[in-house]
Homo-oligomer: A and B are copies of this chain.
């Protein structure tokens, strides 16, 4: 016997959180309702670390039942980057059955209204949050993230991004009044013209979310929750190597929707075997009116060109840059950049790749440092950070797939190696592929080096690019953003004029800038409710997480007006 939830109860329960989210989006201050400390979980119905492990183990070597309509078979094949197969099989849908069922679920969801939808979405996120340690295992063993990162970025930080999307969606849908409005236009001495008007936020159709391998929840949740909160049904097509975190998400969403009296088919899973490529078929189905995608530029461009019946939101490849000019905290700068290069083996879309360092060196609080010294000191900082294997694996995680390892191996041939990559033994997972970052020196004045630094080399590879002057560095920065796109830009300078040059470049080329980070915040991290992830204005992404442009096109306002 299930305890049915009413929309009213859910609204009462979650309205304060929604209101705080809305307020924080206005102030951009720090806030999160989802604790990031591992020890915050394990009581009040949430799973502790050991329970998360147990739950994950129970999922392995079994079928993952979802009770979706139109299941035509089972598929799987995920292998943990830590060196073992997950052995889980997921339903593969007959989309000719599943998609109509999803469409049928939508009118009642639409009629529930924005507030009830937001409350149900928050209930889903709250239930996901209670299972953060289970999701952490799932994220760790699909993405290769180290446990702490999988738990935080794959757990509360992803949940934050989902909640942020819900809040934006709610705000946009409620800008126009829901209750009937009387419109009265004076007509001089005659009676006024009078109409009553009702406005309903209506969904676009089925929303397809195409997940990625490295951040299945963090990159997936904004699209999932923005579309669901705006009344659409959501079909989740995970990366074939990272199905479990999103399959768990779909399961929790379906359970919650059903308990709240809605059709669970509002959220469904479309799993596939690696290489099957069903996203290409799904994305152009007429029922699909929204696509969210994170992945390669090639397929992102294909979606933008071909899924013309849909609103397409893409995050693609980019080349991130840090520009070095001067610093008043040389040690802090080195430590900060070393951490950014090492975190999750540089397998973040936000990891810096090109380090633009003046050939003549930089001014620092420790005196002037030549190009060679800066590169050597940076290599030393990475070495120091990753000197201890246990600490190194906790920071690096595992290499997510063979492609990354190949690029890493190939990087040494691109130029002089300033810091060689080394293999680290994982204390708990002997079959994990763990590698430290490589830093390669390139001369920015030599055209033959361009091919390397003007394309994305995803993974733990960075280029120390020698530049002739600040002007050259800014010109290269602009060109890189304009041609390759960028999710993040960093710069170190104590000079106001240089700072202005870099700021102007970022404002004009539309890229997010972090200046003089020397402490515990890193250029590759963004915080929901405050930071924008990507700008949507350069080739790395056509959307940012999260703003009104990310949610507003997911619904339309239909007006019914009547003679009063």
Question: By DSSP majority rule, is chain A's interface helix, strand, loop, or mixed?
Answer: mixed
Contact code string A336-357 (vs B, CB < 8 Å = 1, else 0): 0000000000000000000000
- Nearest-neighbour CB distance to chain B for A318, whole angstroms, equals 15
Contact code string A484-514 (vs B, CB < 8 Å = 1, else 0): 0000000000000000000110111011111
The answer to whether B510 touches A25 (Cβ under 8 A) is: no
Closest chain B residue, CB of each to CB of A32? B185
User: Is A421 part of the binding interface, using a Cβ–Cβ cutoff of 8 Å?
Assistant: no
User: Given the interface contacts A27-B181, A532-B557, A558-B513, does A305 sit within 8 Å of B304 by beta carbon?
Assistant: no
User: Given the interface contacts A193-B520, A548-B175, A563-B517, does A510 sit within 8 Å of B29 by beta carbon?
Assistant: no
User: Is A560 part of the binding interface, using a Cβ–Cβ cutoff of 8 Å?
Assistant: yes
Q: CB within 8 Å of B: which of A246-278?
A: none
CA distance A527 to B110 in the complex (A): 26
The one of B107, B187, B508, B530 in contact with A107, judged by C-beta atoms closer than 8 angstroms, is B508
Contact code string A178-204 (vs B, CB < 8 Å = 1, else 0): 000111111100000101010110101
The answer to whether A29 touches B518 (Cβ under 8 A) is: no
- Nearest-neighbour CB distance to chain B for A31, whole angstroms, equals 9
User: Is A295 part of the binding interface, using a Cβ–Cβ cutoff of 8 Å?
Assistant: no
The answer to whether A535 touches B562 (Cβ under 8 A) is: no
- Nearest-neighbour CB distance to chain B for A316, whole angstroms, equals 14
Closest chain B residue, CB of each to CB of A514? B561
- Nearest-neighbour CB distance to chain B for A240, whole angstroms, equals 29
- Nearest-neighbour CB distance to chain B for A104, whole angstroms, equals 11
CA distance A514 to B556 in the complex (A): 17
Tell me which residues across on chain B come within 8 A of A305, comparing CB atoms. Answer: 308
Closest chain B residue, CB of each to CB of A332? B563
Closest chain B residue, CB of each to CB of A289? B537
The answer to whether A561 touches B519 (Cβ under 8 A) is: no
The answer to whether B183 touches A527 (Cβ under 8 A) is: yes
Jot down 29 A-B pairs with beta carbons below 8 A, ordered by A.
A25-B175, A26-B177, A28-B181, A28-B199, A29-B181, A29-B184, A30-B183, A30-B184, A107-B504, A110-B507, A172-B548, A185-B527, A187-B520, A193-B519, A197-B531, A506-B558, A510-B556, A515-B562, A516-B563, A518-B563, A521-B561, A531-B559, A531-B561, A532-B557, A535-B557, A535-B558, A537-B556, A547-B557, A548-B548
The one of B186, B503, B531, B556 in contact with A536, judged by C-beta atoms closer than 8 angstroms, is B556
Tell me which residues across on chain B come within 8 A of A195, comparing CB atoms. Answer: 521
- Give the number of chain A interface residues (Cβ < 8 Å): 68
User: Is A54 part of the binding interface, using a Cβ–Cβ cutoff of 8 Å?
Assistant: no
User: Is A549 part of the binding interface, using a Cβ–Cβ cutoff of 8 Å?
Assistant: yes
User: Is A552 part of the binding interface, using a Cβ–Cβ cutoff of 8 Å?
Assistant: yes
Q: Which 8 A-B pairs have the closest CB atoms?
A: A549-B552, A537-B556, A548-B552, A30-B185, A515-B562, A549-B553, A28-B181, A513-B560
Tell me which residues across on chain B come within 8 A of A13, comparing CB atoms. Answer: none
Tell me which residues across on chain B come within 8 A of A197, comparing CB atoms. Answer: 28, 530-531
The answer to whether A563 touches B521 (Cβ under 8 A) is: yes
Closest chain B residue, CB of each to CB of A168? B175
User: Is A544 part of the binding interface, using a Cβ–Cβ cutoff of 8 Å?
Assistant: yes
The answer to whether B515 touches A28 (Cβ under 8 A) is: no
- Nearest-neighbour CB distance to chain B for A233, whole angstroms, equals 13
